[in-house]
Structure 1
């Protein structure tokens, strides 16, 4: 029986960890230790402390909890060394996970695996070399990432992106969504201004002005905004003066599975999406929904990131498909009129992105072995070779 210590610090990591655990259990006898959320606990992990303690972002949020987080880092590293597992698998959350790995490596020869490669292809390429000092093996979500990790001295396997395992709504479900909300055959624009309060506050007014310009040309347009619980009230406040009242989908006071099904149906029903930059572009590609991507940040962040950025597009569909089919408006280019023209162009020719979206899904592993099982195979193979 192998002994595996896992650490996940946020919901996305919990999901990756649970799929990896299920994959390991299907391939070998295994005992789990570590820190994770409800999905990992359902697969047999008894978390050493609530994963939510690690789900903090930004300096303002981290500073008040700094001492507590450092204490958790130290006690987690001590637990790893004491248990002496066959492998330590850290999942995303690099600020916490890599600090634990550094302490473990200083006191032991325990094999370390990190799940989710840092985005060194986009910016801050020095992170790979720094990570290589404490990580033996990386599990990558994107097919273009292994060369960057290997160049820094780490083993790396592309194991597929979890988006390919997500449930996609059927056309019947999409039609039912349209019928339920009285949309019928009218064009439907899905607006996705983000899941963090800062980005929603910044992007929703810009998106609103873009939507107004689109409505001038297409007055029959309907609007829908899927939200997360933490931004629902903010979105409601931000859109109250929009010329057409959007349908707002929220998980508040809804069964989680019911909300996820409704959201999937919404993605499938939409004719086009206007979305903040991020992994949502992959969710849209999975549901075959053409998109326009837009994002802005504070002036200072814009200056810093624009100087550090190493790629000419931040849209993952463009990067994975090696095309520039998805229009994007980032930083100073995030202007309502330009965004509106792009949305109208996609509405008039929705097929233009189809090939790029399908190629993206194929390259991320759609139709192949589940990413969690591929990740488990990679971990076991690495242990045998290491």
Structure 2
């Protein structure tokens, strides 16, 4: 079997590596395409560094558009030249679906897209457009397949990768607390986002929440994991907080796997979390860490997206568990005076979220076959040309 596979960012690289490992365990397979270090470890020789595709936001894309267009044409040419049985694109729809469109226009190669677009939340028309170039979708969330099949694509729910993440031992978590002088202090994890725009927008709001929290719970300690490229910005922005957090970022000489393990210990050591909206709510659920979710965006984006929203919650734990157990403060509600009382209430009684988190993890595939292997079986089950 010949598979041309494309991922454009770190999360896609992780999904792609697990899928490649699954396919290799089930059949003889040869890979070509674009991916990161995890996919390369599974045998992919990337056409070019995946990081070149990790560009988000109009202001960032425009100056790089000529280079991205060249990479798009190079990828299409390579895919057609490789003559694969199947083209698998992973997330990064702006790039991946353009590749799929051009490949479909020039061939009968079967196309699979891994990660369904969130048409259940907004812009439902994306599914119909995607169906013109994609034959089969691998969905991470259990309620997504009907939306894809209604648009004319085959779709399989294959489980979310969060359920396959290794859990640190109790000894490792205790060692993490001891190493950072946390001992048995009440620990709040603060997660203001993974992109520069999110961090600059949310960190001041979260700082106001912490100032209010400090009056009621002055013994609380904070931990804030971030990436290497945002670490300096984050440390500068939290330096004057009433409670200054422990900022975790990759250290010199530390491998990605070592930092991932350290971050996992922080998630499991935390008693509660204040987090931006996103898949991080599922990571917190996997760590059984109760949370409050808060998020805001610029005025124009907020106005446009709010008008298109089709759901009354953006928190994935709430959506998957079909509850509203996790409090969230989105858009105009993302204000410290609203968030702080709910966070204090959570700190007094975190138990209400536990059932919703357990239901979420069960529905995402916890305890079953690994999502990468399920994805590989779905690809093979549906066949290839």
Aligned residue for 1:294?
Answer: 294
Task: Kindly report which structure 2 residues correspond to 1:183-332, keeping only aligned pairs within 5 A, or say none.
Answer: 183-253=182-252, 254-332=254-332
1:78 equivalent in structure 2: 77
Q: Write out the 4+ residue segments of structure 1 that deviate beyond 4 Å after TM superposition.
A: none
Could you tell me which runs of 5 or more consecutive residues in structure 1 were left unpaired when the two chains were aligned.
none
* TM-score calculated relative to the size of structure 1: 0.97
Cα distance in 1 for partners of 2:38, 2:255 equals 17
CA deviation profile, 1:319-355 (whole Å, cap 9, x unmatched) = 0100000000000000102111111111111111001
SS in 1 for 2:32: strand
Post-superposition shift, 1:186?
Answer: 2.2
Report Cα offsets for 1:238-290 as digits up to 9, x if no partner: 11111122111111323333322221111111110000001100000000000
Contact map agreement 1:195 1:230 (CA 8 A) in 2? no
Displacement of 1:76 in angstroms is 1.6
Deviations 1:338-378 (A, max 9, x none): 11111111111111100101111111111100000000000
Preserved contact between residue 271 and residue 290 of structure 1 (Cα < 8 Å)? yes
Instruction: Give the match for residue 128 of structure 1.
Output: 127
Q: Distance in 2 between matches of 1:69 and 1:257?
A: 29
Structure 1 CA distance for aligned equivalents of residues 52 and 184 of structure 2: 46
Q: Secondary structure at the match of 2:33?
A: strand
Superposition deviation, residue 312 in structure 1:
0.3
SS at match of 1:20: helix
Deviation at 1:82, TM superposition (A): 2.4
- Contact in 2 for aligned 1:293/1:328 (Cα 8 Å): yes
Segment drifting more, 120-129 vs 219-228: 219-228
Which string of whole-angstrom CA distances, capped at 9 and with x for unpartnered residues, describes residues 34-72 of structure 1?
111111111111111221111111111111121221122
CA distance in 2, matches of 1:255, 1:373: 26
What whole-Å deviation, never above 9, does each CA across 1:179-224 have from its counterpart, x for those lacking one? 2222222211111111111111110110011011111111111111
**CA distance, structure 1, for counterparts of residue 208 and residue 138 of structure 2:** 41
1:1-386 superposed matches below 5 A: 2-253=1-252, 254-383=254-383
Looking at structure 2, the residues matched to 297 and 276 of structure 1 have their Cα atoms a distance apart, in angstroms, of 11
Looking at structure 2, the residues matched to 252 and 195 of structure 1 have their Cα atoms a distance apart, in angstroms, of 17
1:35/1:50 contact within 8 Å kept: yes
Give distance in 2, aligned partners of 1:89 and 1:111: 9
User: Does the CA contact (< 8 Å) of 1:101 and 1:112 recur in 2?
Assistant: yes
Q: For 1:209 and 1:109, how far apart are their aligned partners in 2?
A: 56
Q: C-alpha distance in 2, partners of 1:128/1:283?
A: 27
3-state SS of paired residue (1:245)? coil
- Secondary structure in structure 2 of the residue aligned to 1:294: strand
Unaligned runs of 5+ in 2: none
CA contact (8 A) 2:210 2:243 kept: no
Q: Does structure 1 conserve the Cα–Cα contact (< 8 Å) formed by 2:14 and 2:38?
A: yes
Paired residues of 1:178 and 1:184 also in contact (CA < 8 A): yes
Cα distance in structure 2, aligned partners of 1:103 and 1:257: 36
Distance 1:111 1:255, change over 3 A: closer
Secondary structure at the counterpart of residue 178 of structure 1: helix
1:35–1:49 CA contact under 8 A, matched in 2: yes
